[in-house]
């Protein structure tokens, strides 16, 4: 998909986060939060045209699994045409419905959820539903990693997970905040336990 086609998709679909694909510098920085030396199951929300997906496939082990959750049909079509890898499943559903496409034994056992969907565009109830579903599918100690254009996700993440760390990536259009959130077995932690601002 060309940058012009990506822009057209952005215009048509308000759930597309950016007018252009994420930069490779940002992709690499976000993915430093993933341990590629181990087999893992990773769910990616909003893979778009597959910038992160292709990088993940190049880095992850043969025993790892990548589950793509993409609501935009144009992107789903492109992903099905360009991603031919037995480690990948491509699903045309909303992020809040992720549990409907997972095997029962995967729920509560996902190692990472990587999200590029623009949470700032979501209504409060839908935003919370996505975060709660994310927490349910993650294993204890599993990570929710989200790259966002603002700090709007801090409060809802604290309400559902009780913790986050943040990094800032300036050299991307738009610049991104990278959230690193851990599912703790003891539930939500106090706000005092967070780092970043």
pLDDT of residue 26: 87
**CA pair distance 89, 105, nearest whole angstrom:** 16
| Inside any domain, residue 6 | no
pLDDT of residue 169: 81
Averaged pLDDT for residues 136-163: 96
Contact between residue 156 and residue 131 where contact means Cβ atoms under 8 Å apart: yes
| Inside any domain, residue 5 | no
Give the whole-number percent of the chain exceeding pLDDT 70. 82
| Inside any domain, residue 96 | yes
**pLDDT, averaged across the chain:** 86
Nearest to 112 by CA among 89, 82, 138, 149: 138
Collapse the DSSP code of 64 into the 3-class scheme (helix H, G, I; strand E, B; otherwise coil) and give the result.
coil
| Inside any domain, residue 9 | no
pLDDT of 189 over the 80 cut: no
Domain extent, residue 62, equals 22-193
Contact between residue 47 and residue 15 where contact means Cβ atoms under 8 Å apart: no
Contact between residue 67 and residue 44 where contact means Cβ atoms under 8 Å apart: yes
| Inside any domain, residue 59 | yes
| Inside any domain, residue 10 | no
| Inside any domain, residue 13 | no
For the segment 83-142, what is each residue's pLDDT rounded down to a tens digit? 999 999 999 999 999 999 999 999 999 999 999 899 988 999 999 999 999 999 999 999
pLDDT of 13 over the 80 cut: no
pLDDT of 145 over the 80 cut: yes
* Strand intervals (E) in the chain: 41-45, 65-69, 88-91, 110-115, 138-148, 165-169, 176-182
CATH code for the domain in which residue 80 is found: 3.40.50.150
pLDDT of 72 over the 60 cut: yes
pLDDT of 7 over the 50 cut: no
pLDDT of residue 115: 96
For the segment 178-188, what is each residue's pLDDT rounded down to a tens digit? 999 999 976 56
Question: Side-chain half-sphere of 90: how many Cα atoms within 13 Å?
Answer: 20
Q: How many domains does the chain have?
A: 1
**Residue 171: pLDDT band with limits 50, 70, 90:** low
pLDDT of 192 over the 60 cut: no
Single pTM value for the model = 0.84
The gap from C-alpha 11 to its chain's centroid, in whole angstroms, comes to 21
pLDDT of 194 over the 60 cut: no
| Inside any domain, residue 179 | yes
Top pLDDT among 195 and 20 is at 20
């Amino acid at each position: 998909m060309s940058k012009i086609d990506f822009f057209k998709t952005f215009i048509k679909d308000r759930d597309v986060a950016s007018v252009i694909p994420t930069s490779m510098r940002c992709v690499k920085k976000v993915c430093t939060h993933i341990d590629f030396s181990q087999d893992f199951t990773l769910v990616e929300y909003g893979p778009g045209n597959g910038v992160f997906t292709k990088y993940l496939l190049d880095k992850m082990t043969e025993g790892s699994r990548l589950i793509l959750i993409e609501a935009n049909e144009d992107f789903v079509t492109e992903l099905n045409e360009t991603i031919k890898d037995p480690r990948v499943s491509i699903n045309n559903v909303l992020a809040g419905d992720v549990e409907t496409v997972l095997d029962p034994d995967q729920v509560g056992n996902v190692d990472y959820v990587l999200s590029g969907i623009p949470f700032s565009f979501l209504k409060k109830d839908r935003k919370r539903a996505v975060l709660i579903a994310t927490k349910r599918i993650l294993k204890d100690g599993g990570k929710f990693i989200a790259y966002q254009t603002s700090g709007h996700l801090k409060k809802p993440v604290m309400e559902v997970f009780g913790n986050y760390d943040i990094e800032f990536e300036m050299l991307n259009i738009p610049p991104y905040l990278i959230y690193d959130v851990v599912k703790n077995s003891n539930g939500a932690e106090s706000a005092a336990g967070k780092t970043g601002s």
